[in-house]
Amino acid sequence: MWKWEADKARGVFVLVHGSGEHHGRYEWLIEEWRANGFHVIMGDLPGHGETAERPGHIDSFDEYIESIARWVRKAESCNLPIFLLGHSLGGLAVIRTLTEKILPVSAVILSSPCVGLKNPPPKPLKLFAKAVNTFAPRWRVRIKSSGSNPSATRNQDRLKKDDQDPLILRKVSIRWYTQLEKALNLAFEKIDEFPDVPLLVMQAGEDKIVDKHEVIRWFNQIPVGDKTYKEWNGLFHEIFNEPERKEVFDCALGFVEPHLNLHQEC
């Protein structure tokens, strides 16, 4: 877990990255929040980043839930409004965390949240994974993660950096996939347990990784009074890495600012 501090902070953001990523890919977004008066707290999800004991593997999706809850508890010490931002897998993890934990969050932003895959594995492969999960859960298979995936962003500079990044995951375990599938189902099954917290869902219009129709279906069912759906036409999955990312950030900032209030500065 890392913390980046802002001068005269107005709030604190907890950022949650997507599959195959790590916190180092969020340097631009971190600096934007800091420049606009927000501390930022971020960690690498279990199985990700340089501290991963078992790269690409988790025993349970609960490991993500507990990590995010721990980061939010760290943010509480600032005595400032807390905002959660989850991208892709991180968006799904934020959804699952908020249905399982009561957390003091002022508002939530989901970026292309993974509540459905654009190209899910065929049914025979799913059945095979389910069988293998019982006797070889740590067996890893190659995936197209966000990092270094041209389907994720049109930002060529980002893709070039990712190609040279040894921390980008390119394989995940069978257990990881089965836990992802379970979490996808629970995102809908427990939809009524999602808290009534201000919510902004920002979805890539040309998402080649997440099924935007599933995102819309989830959004339409979520029992939240203050909710906004914004689709970015022409943008690929990683909206905060796209050439239009400053416009995307300004939209997120505009959503957050009405939810700020006076707290003692950290």
Catalytic residues: 88, 207, 237
Type and span of the H or E element at 42: strand 38-42
Cβ-in-10-Å burial (0-12, 13-18, 19+) of 254 comes to: exposed
Sign of CA dihedral 26, 82, 184, 59: positive
Report the DSSP beta bridge partners of residue 40: 4, 13
- Other residues' Cβ atoms within 10 Å of the Cβ of residue 32: 19
- The SS3 call for residue 52 is coil
How much is the CA Rg of the chain, to the nearest whole Å? Answer: 17
Exposure on the CB side of residue 146, measured as CA atoms within 13 A = 31
**Residues near 160 by beta carbon (within 8 Å), at least 6 away in sequence:** none
- The SS3 call for residue 11 is strand
What do you get for the CA distance between the two ends of the chain, in Å? Answer: 18
CB 229 within 8 A of CB 256: no
Q: Return the residue matching tokens 């989850």.
A: 86
